[in-house]
Amino acid sequence: MHAWEAIQKTLDYMEEHIGEDIKIEVLAETASLSLFYYQRLFSRLVKKPVREYIKLRRMAIVLEVLQNKNNRILDIALEYGFGSHETFTRAFKEAYGMTPEQYREKPVSLNRFDKPDLLLGYTLIDEGVPLISDGLVLEMNRRTLNEPIDFMGVIGYVPIAGQIPVGESTGVDMPGEIWRRFHKEKDRIARIPDGREVGVAYMGDAPEGCFTYFAGAEIEPGVAEEDFQRWQLPAREYIICGFEAGNFLELVTVALNKAIKYSGLWLEKHGLVADVFAPELYYSSTPEATYMELLIPFNKKQ
């Protein structure tokens, strides 16, 4: 068994027992490692100590539960292993900068610490060969876009701190809030029927320490609308990371974060360097299919 496989085995165990009193000794035994070496290897591969990781995963899971106001906060705290209302509130505020009560009264998009999929760090696929791992189906290809694609939507400035690394940060999900604003207003956009939507981070005229994020819908060239911003996907060659997930929420959170990380590894192993933007291209989803693409403009390493 590879070292990463031993740690992944314990990550799976934690997920199945997330509300219980998880003993590190049991995790070490599950990984067939000594207590000392297990904790050392875990911190190296997951980049968090075991106890902190468990707390962050519990924080991620309870966000959905909190949205149902029929669930008492004390009951949630106890069910997910926090011991008391006070302990839960303190941990929640440390992670997200607000109390559970404040989040429940005024829900916002929050970053969640994902369960790592360590296989993706040790598997290199060829172009056009699907990779299946932990419910994610992912494929890397090259594609040349011969004509630019126009989008119309909204922008916002996002502080870099607190948003990266993806899938490992907590706090408010600022791009998610920009998407929330776009979805409230997008019915006023003269979009192409069944057209795609795009989310893209780039510098633009963002202030220091921030980046610009655009969320928009595909439009016909030449369409004008004063109330919205325009962004154009340039015609050029891209590395395309296409991926599917079980549902749309999983697609735009966990699956997207995994795809971003894997794409970076894939480009590095192929001697390529990503350009300064990587658009997220969303296709129409159905109950049977949820699919999107990460488009990566690239150059060869010098």
pLDDT digits (tens, 9 = 90+) for 114-146: 999 999 999 999 999 999 988 788 999 999 999
Give the model's pLDDT for residue 289.
Answer: 67
Other residues' Cβ atoms within 10 Å of the Cβ of residue 222 = 6
Low-confidence ranges of the chain (pLDDT < 50): none
For 211, residues 6+ apart whose C-beta sits below 8 A from its C-beta are: 157, 158, 160, 201, 202, 203, 204
Give the three-state DSSP class for 59.
helix
pTM metric for this prediction:
0.86
The b-or-e profile of 125-141 (16+ CB within 10 A means b, else e) is: eeeeeebeebebebbbe
Give the model's pLDDT for residue 287.
Answer: 63
Length of the chain, in residues:
302
Give the model's pLDDT for residue 24.
Answer: 97
Give the model's pLDDT for residue 234.
Answer: 95
Give the three-state DSSP class for 182.
helix
Give the model's pLDDT for residue 169.
Answer: 83
* DSSP bridge partners of 215: 154, 199
Query: What integer best gives the mean pLDDT of the chain?
Result: 91
Give the model's pLDDT for residue 250.
Answer: 78
Going 142 to 148 to 150 to 156, the CA torsion angle's sign is positive
